[in-house]
Every structure is written in C-alpha cells, then in structure tokens.
A and B are shown apart, each in its own frame.
Chain A
Amino acid sequence: MRRRLTPYLLALPSWLWLAAFLVVPLAAMASVSTQTGNVVDGFAQTFSFGNYADALGRYSTQLVRSLLYGGAATLAMLAIGYPVAYWIAFRGGSRKSMYLFLLLLPFFVSFVLRTIAWGFLLADDGILFGTLKGWGLLSPDFHVLATSFAVIAGLTYNWLPFMILPIYVGLERVDPRVIEAAYDLYATRFTVFRRVVLPLSLPGVFAGVLMTFVPAVADPINAQILGGTNNTMIGNIIQVEYLTNNNYPTASALSFTLMAVLLVGIFAYARALGTENVLEAAAR
C-alpha cells in the first residue's frame, strides 16, 4: 500500500507548487476579470463579462499588432535559427558544447539590459548608424529606433536561443545512418534535406516556435525600450492598465483574451503541421 502511494507522495510537492502558484492566481485573475469597481471603493464580483468586449474593443489594435510582431519575429528566428542549429548539430564536431555555451552566454546579462544595449546600437546617432551617417553612407534622417522593425529585431534577438536549442535537439536526434541511407538511395544533398532531415527535425521546430512565439507576443520590454510610442504591444497595455491605471478587471480580461488567442493559435498550428506526425516523430 505504502509502496503504491510513494510515487504520488513524491510528486505531491510539485502538485502543491503548481496549485499554489499557477491554479490559484489564474482562478483569482479569472474572478477579477469579471468584477467591477475602482481601486478606491474596491472591486465587487458582478459577472460583468462586458469587461472582455470593452477591453477588446479598446485594444484590438495592440492585440493584432502583438500577434503580427510576434509572428514576424518567430519567422525571423526560424530563418536565422534553423541554419545555426543545423550547423552546430552537423558541423559542430567536438566543439558543439562550446557553441551551445556561446549561444547561452547572453543570458548571463539581464534581459532588460540587453534590450537597452540594443537601444544604444540602434540609436539614430549611436555607434552603428552614427558612424555610417558620419561616413555619408546613410542619409542623416535615417532611423530605426522607434519603428516596428526595431521591435521585431529586438524580439528576434532576445528569444533566438529558445528557437535554436529545440531545433538543435531535434536535429541531433536524426540518426546519421538514415541520412547516409538517403544518399545511398541516390538522393541529392537538397533532397536529403527536404525529404529526410527537415521532416525528422519538425518536432524540434514545433517546440522552438512554441517557446518563442508565445513569449514574444506577450513581451512588453522590447516594445517599451525599442518601440517608442507607436508600437505599443498588448504586454505594455496590460502592464499600464494594471500598474498605472489600477484597472485590474480590464488587465485581467486582456490577459485571458491573450491566453485564449495563443492557445487557439497553438492548436491550429499543431493541427496544420499534423499533430499526429509531430507527436509520432517526437515519440520515436
């Protein structure tokens, strides 16, 4: 009897942890999202689902913009990250672990500091553009900071390792003999990649997209530091509503809306990629 309970007892702390720090706050937030009132007189539960419609009506622009920026950054990360992961996995040789370490090195510096550093880099008269303008290679009114490009570039930079690592793991798991077999069966280098390596690395791509798209969409820091006033994302709005306006119901409703949109998006994405395929390959 005791023996049968042991695994559950061992898992109990993590269950309690999840309950205390995930389920309870989520439930509290769900409750807040349908309350009305203000911070002075207090909030009361009125099941006002209108909060959602109201929040969405006011901030749909930012929500759509977040999804677009997050999507664009994810695509950019995929385009940059896949070749890097491929190169480390197949050409890294004995230096693989060093390359992976280099990839993680930026994490030793705070996320916010790194983004501010990007702000310096992209500044109109910063080291990069200032110098280029000084040489007359760029027109004096050229600017990148406070554009959507700067925000997407920042997101891409900040989350890139989370794209590369899962793809690397996926590629590492491809049996080199299977690749040799494809060559042996007259496939060209390109065909080997398209018909064998790429499909077998899709579980890694799936994980990478998941691990980057979700945080990129919700991220407030990049828009705040690199985006100026015209590139506000949903993360910034939630932050302002919560911390500045003390409008907890609207902030909570927006958070839940974002979560729902992301979940639907992920399931649609899994469906489009063929979950069966992905799970099957992952279970291999």
Chain B
Amino acid sequence: MHAIQLDGVVKEYTSHGEVVQAVKGVTLDIAEGEFFSLLGPSGCGKTTTMRMIAGFEEPSKGTIRLHGQDVTNVPPNKRDVNMVFQSYALFPHMNVWDNVAFGLKQKKVPAEEIKRRVGEMLEIVDLVGREKRRPREMSGGQQQRVALARALVNHPRALLLDEPLGALDLKLRQAMQLELKRIQREVGITFVYVTHDQSEALTMSDRIAVMKDGLVEQLGDPRTIYEEPATAFVAGFIGTSNLLTGTANGGVLKVGGGRVLVPGKEGEVTVTVRPEKITICTEEPQGELSIVSGTVTEVVYLGTYNSYAVRLADGVEVTVFQQNAVDATATAERGDSVWLSWQPQHSYAIGK
C-alpha cells in the first residue's frame, strides 16, 4: 500500500491576468514508512507540491491519495497528515505542552491519553522539563523539536517537513539531520521532506525526487541520483559534476585532446563524470580508460582533498577532486600539463 500517491497533479495560479503553472504534472508514489525528499531550487514547485499534500492548496488537475483514499478536495483539518513548517509556526501564546497537545485536544482524545502521549513525545525529542516554556524563550533547535513533537504526537499517516532545518546553523543542522532520521526510524512514519539542500537530501532520504520548473527531473535513491544523474540539471544540482559534449563514433567520444569511452553510443552525446572519480597524473595512463589531457589552472587545498581545475585542449574546464595522500602534497601544480583518466562506467550519457 502506498502512503501517498500523486497522479498528474497540476497547480495553476493566475498572476496579473496570466496563468502560471507552479506544478506542471507530478506523478509520485511514496511508500509506507519511507523517508522521501522533494529536492530542487527555489521556484521548482516542491513546496507547492507539499502544500497540496497537506491540503493548503487544491490541485488544479490530478488526484492525491492517502493510503488509497482520494483526499484531493479534503481540507487540511480533515487530513491525517501533519506538517512541520519552515519557520516552525509554533503557537506563540502557548507553552510547549499546550503546543504539543493542541492536535490531540482537537481530535477529542481523552485527557489521560493526551497526557501520556505528550509526555512520551517530549521524551523522544528530548524536551522533558521544558513543558512550561514559551516558544520565544527557546533556541531555534529546541523550537524545531517542539514543532516536530507537535506534529508527530498525532501519529499522522505521513509527516510533511518544509525545509525544517533551514534556519539552523551548520553544526546544529547536521546534528538534527541524524536526529530526524533516528526519530523517523523510531516512530516508523512516512516522512516527506522538502529541501533545496542536496547534501541534506542525500544524507537522510530513502528516495529523492529532484524537481525543476514544476516537473520531476529524476526519481531514485540517493546513490542512483548521485552516480547516475538522468539529466544535466540533476548532475549539476547534486554535487559537482563535469559535462563533456561531443560526437561519439564507435563508442568513443573525441574530446579535449583525448577520448571518452561511451560503449554503445553513437552521434551527439553529453556525458557526466564526478570529480572524485577522476585520477590526475603527470604521465599518460594506460589501459581501457577514458583519458583526456589539459593544463592545471587552479589547485585548491580543501583539507581532506585537493580540488584541481584543469583546462582541456578544447577549452572545457574539468574539476577533479583528489584525496590527500599521506604526505598531503599535490600531484600537480598550477601550469602543469596533466592527464585525467577514469573508468568507463563512471561516465554517464545524459539526456538534455
């Protein structure tokens, strides 16, 4: 059984007399208990998609199902999903306890059970002893956990999270990523997570839908999204990627004074290769490898690795990450002529 199903969902707005499509037709199946991310730059329709799942926006076309039940036109207060807002949206006039108990009170859960469940939830998010605090008396991370508890205490069929870690600093964000993952495993609820932060999505998700201009560009697990990007957009948005374009002849692409092996491809083709898959050396490598050559234009020391910018003979810039060796010396210096090589399986031909 799918927890959430979107079928051909479209959202249109009228702005200054013009019809704008924020979401242009999204079809998704999200499995029960899955940690699912909607990833994309701002304006890609990810938040609108989530707001339609929550019920704050009605789709212009298409249907939304929760556990097989059509909820397309069901208002948010009758939907068994809860949301964690970007700015937390805690009730400023209520203390932590009343914030967390709000949903259960609306559902007319008996007082005894409310007491038990709120207590348990505060334990899970580590806020025991702070029941009487007001939201504004708490740090961002604590408010974040109140928002999470307020939603999770209702045992929703799915939890929607709208960039919930956006307002936190890096250290806290990383801690909360692991924390969220732990809580999700603990409660076993389907999480739908909206973010523009690719590393966040890669860290936490079971599956990711990469969105652009109101459409899903690629849907897959983090490994597939990263290693086998389907489009140039996905390759560029997730991590750093090198794009090489040329005409393939007999499975070989002639670029940058060298060759890229693209078995089975003919004609115009663009391939992507991740910087960390490339080996940089000063002597021409041998073997069944993709090999190009160029000149080092920049070397940046980044702690665990060095980043090289290499300009190929045809002017294309390629980025290479090289793990720092024991003595942490760079393999090449600025101005050196170098050879770049990688295994054929590390270059992916992508669609436009």
Contacts and interface: CB of A to CB of B under 8 A. Distances in A.
Interface of A: 175, 177-178, 180-188, 191, 195-196, 199-200, 277, 280-281, 284
A175 B135 CA distance: 14
A185 B106 contact: yes
User: Which 10 A/B pairs are nearest by Cβ-Cβ distance?
Assistant: A185-B103, A177-B89, A186-B106, A181-B89, A183-B76, A178-B89, A186-B77, A199-B93, A184-B83, A183-B77
A180 B90 CA distance: 11
B77 A181 contact: no
A177 B164 CA distance: 13
Contacts of B2: none
B76 A184 contact: yes
A269 B142 CA distance: 35
Given A183-B76, A183-B77, A177 B87 contact: yes
A182 B91 contact: yes
B92 interface: yes
A185 B93 contact: no
A175 B150 contact: no
B106 A180 contact: no
Contacts of A181: 83, 85, 89-91, 150
Interface string B134-166: 101000000000000011001000000000000
B49 interface: no
Contacts of B208: none
A206 to B, nearest CB: 14
B102 to A, nearest CB: 5
Nearest to B87: A177
B116 interface: no
Contact of B75 (A175, A182, A183, A199): A183
Interface string B81-108: 0110111011111000000001100110
B155 to A, nearest CB: 12
Given A180-B76, A183-B56, A281-B92, 14 more contacts: A175-B87, A178-B89, A178-B90, A178-B92, A181-B150, A182-B91, A184-B54, A184-B83, A185-B102, A188-B77, A191-B106, A199-B93, A281-B93, A284-B92
Contacts of B55: 184
Contact of B93 (A177, A186, A187, A200): A200
Contacts of A180: 56, 76, 83, 85, 89
B102 A284 contact: no
A177 B107 contact: no
Nearest to A188: B77
Contacts of B54: 184
17 contacts: A177-B87, A177-B89, A178-B91, A180-B56, A180-B76, A180-B89, A181-B90, A181-B150, A183-B75, A184-B56, A184-B77, A185-B77, A185-B103, A185-B154, A187-B77, A188-B106, A196-B91
A42 to B, nearest CB: 58
A177 B102 contact: no
A277 B56 CA distance: 30
Contacts of B91: 178, 181-182, 196
